[in-house]
Amino acid sequence: MRICQTGAYQVKPDSIAKVRQAVTELTDHVKENEPGTVFYLAWQQRDDPARFMHLAVFDDETALEIHHASKALRRFEKLCAPYIVGGPVFFTEYDEVAGKPETVCLPRGSCATLSTAILSEGMD
């Protein structure tokens, strides 16, 4: 059964650019090295750009464990830890119940199947 996870956090306003770079590096690692992570997005809140939310979908517990054990995640946590405010990163795990997870809309407005979108350079 797929596992869905969110991670929400807030950073110091003067660290937003550094955190965005760290998010990009982590996401690049996930795309290139974690085939069991079938979906990974990071969002920045529009009305409060110091707030971030990550959404990940893992094939199974093994894929989740691989992600949590990755050096890239450790590096991300180390880089961002000094900038986190308002409490620790708040993680929530969900089991997939229903929906249309095989379709995703890309930043440029086109939609594709999840597998096509993950392989697409348009996710950058």
pLDDT at position 81 is: 96
pLDDT tens-digit map of 61-91: 999 999 999 999 999 999 999 999 999 899 9
What's the chain's average pLDDT?
85
Q: Give the single-character DSSP code of 82.
A: G
pLDDT(115) > 80: no
Which of 113 and 36 is assigned the larger pLDDT? 36
First to last CA, the chain: 27
pLDDT at position 120 is: 44
Residue 85 CA: distances (Å) to CA of 41, 66, 111: 21, 27, 35
85 token code pair: 């405010």
Closest among 20, 35, 21 to 70, alpha carbons compared: 35
| Fold entry, domain 3-99 | Alpha-Beta Plaits (3.30.70)
pLDDT at position 94 is: 86
What is the percentage of the chain residues whose pLDDT exceeds 90? Answer: 66
Backbone angles phi, psi at 40, to 5 degrees: -150, 120
Q: Give the single-character DSSP code of 123.
A: G
**Model-level pTM?**
0.77
Mean pLDDT (whole number) for 3-31 = 96
Q: Please, which residues have CB within 8 angstroms of residue 61's CB and are 6 or more apart in sequence? A: 3
pLDDT(26) > 70: yes
pLDDT(95) > 90: no
Place of tokens 């992600």: 67
